């Protein structure tokens, strides 16, 4: 049952399948020919990602009171798993300014042409405050900002940055990893209170975007070589995982790659800015697959203009900050056009407008955060999830 087919948003439970309409429920792809096992055994691999599933199994078996076809209670009980997403918002969706929002400023609570954004599990936000040559940390609990890297003016000393564009938090190393674009280097900056200098991890790279997978491999986009490389921490050469075949618009090329997202299968999604597309490279692939845009620059829903930040949810939907169109769109897996999420109301500074959106991310509560570059602010948008159990 698709979320859009529900007449109202409410929790849905199937307590006893024999009391429900007789409809065919297809097994998960790949399980059709597997032997019939207990529900506990079948769901055991899911415990890590669904910690409460064991209690759901118990409830399902207890509620399956009238097994049919001579099946035991254990054989007949079932759990249906749903993939949930956010319904695209209409153009009236208004954002709330979290950081910045006044004129460009060096004040700690203000920003100047911000670009990158990272949100950790506690909701702490890190912002690449580009023209102020610093990284700003914003804690939602304290409702306050502080500088955690740079802020010593533009320069190439180890305590300085030059046009920082993106950063992530390496939790294991308790440090920031920063794209220091103007200095053509990737920096590591400890998050300890007494830290004043960074250290160089990678040199001679026109890095713009970066991300890290669950194996602590670092992915960095290089705008001069039009490629994305994967690095082990401490490694300086890396391996090309996207592009690397010169500047161009073929499926094995990139043109000014910006932001990156790596999923759980180690596929890499790249905002291929001057090709006006988002392209996905599966692990080991020699060329990419266009998953958003790729139909020339434009403002139709099947087009993008200078795409920036991106986020891919568990269902494979791609959320894109469509920079030149001042909007965020969502491209469902396999879709040929996007759906408007927020923005799309022209360039401006109203709560439902952007002026060149940069990075974007979701927090653990499903709130969307968008860096609004030329409005010198970060905007937050709240969404109601469809509740399906």
**pLDDT tens digits, 338-389:** 999 999 999 999 999 999 999 999 998 899 999 999 999 999 999 764 422 2
**What CA–CA distances, in Å, run from 293 to 245, 296, 331?**
21, 7, 9
Whether the predicted pLDDT of 4 surpasses 50: no
Asked if residue 286 lies in contact with residue 313, where contact means CB atoms within 8 angstroms, the answer is no
Enter the pTM of the model. Answer: 0.77
> 10 Å Cβ neighbour count for 48?
8
Across 1-9, average pLDDT: 35
Q: What is the CATH number of domain 98-382?
A: 2.120.10.30
**pLDDT tens digits, 306-347:** 999 999 999 999 999 999 999 999 999 999 999 999 999 999
Contacts of 231 (CB under 8 A, 6+ apart): 201, 202, 217, 218, 219, 220, 237, 238, 239
Eight-state DSSP code of residue 365: T
Domain ranges of the chain: 39-81, 98-382
């Amino acid at each position: 049952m698709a979320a859009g087919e529900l007449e109202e948003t409410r929790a849905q439970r199937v307590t006893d399948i024999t009391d429900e309409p007789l409809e065919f429920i297809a097994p998960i792809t790949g399980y059709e020919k597997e032997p019939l096992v207990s529900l506990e055994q079948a769901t055991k691999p899911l415990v890590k990602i669904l910690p409460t599933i064991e209690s759901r199994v118990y409830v399902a078996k207890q509620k399956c009171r009238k097994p049919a076809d001579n099946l035991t209670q254990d054989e007949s009980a079932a759990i249906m798993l749903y993939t949930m997403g956010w319904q695209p918002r209409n153009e009236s969706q208004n954002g709330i300014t979290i950081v910045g929002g006044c004129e460009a400023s060096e004040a700690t609570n203000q920003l100047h042409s911000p670009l990158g954004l990272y949100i950790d599990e506690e909701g702490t936000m890190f912002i690449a405050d580009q023209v102020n040559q610093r990284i700003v940390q914003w804690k939602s609990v304290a409702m306050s900002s502080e500088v955690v890297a740079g802020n010593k003016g533009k320069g190439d000393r180890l305590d300085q940055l030059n046009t920082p564009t993106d950063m992530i938090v390496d939790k294991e190393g308790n440090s920031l990893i920063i794209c220091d674009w103007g200095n053509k280097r990737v920096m590591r900056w400890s998050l300890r209170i007494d830290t004043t200098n960074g250290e160089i991890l990678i040199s001679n790279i026109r890095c713009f975007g970066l991300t890290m997978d669950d194996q602590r491999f670092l992915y960095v986009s290089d705008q001069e070589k039009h490629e994305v490389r994967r690095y082990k921490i401490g490694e300086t050469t890396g391996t090309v995982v996207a592009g690397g075949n010169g500047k161009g618009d073929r499926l094995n090329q990139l043109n000014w790659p910006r932001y990156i997202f790596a999923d759980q299968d180690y596929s890499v999604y790249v905002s291929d800015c001057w090709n006006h597309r988002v392209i996905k490279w599966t692990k080991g692939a020699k060329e990419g697959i266009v998953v958003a845009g790729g139909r020339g620059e434009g403002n139709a829903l099947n087009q993008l203009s200078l795409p920036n930040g991106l986020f891919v949810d568990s269902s494979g939907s791609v959320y894109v900050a469509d920079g030149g169109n001042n909007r965020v769109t969502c491209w469902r897996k396999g879709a040929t056009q996007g759906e408007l999420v927020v923005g799309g109301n022209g360039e401006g500074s109203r709560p439902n407008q952007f002026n060149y959106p940069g990075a974007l991310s979701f927090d653990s509560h499903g709130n969307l955060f968008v860096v609004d570059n030329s409005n010198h602010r970060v905007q937050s948008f709240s969404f109601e999830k469809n509740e399906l159990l």
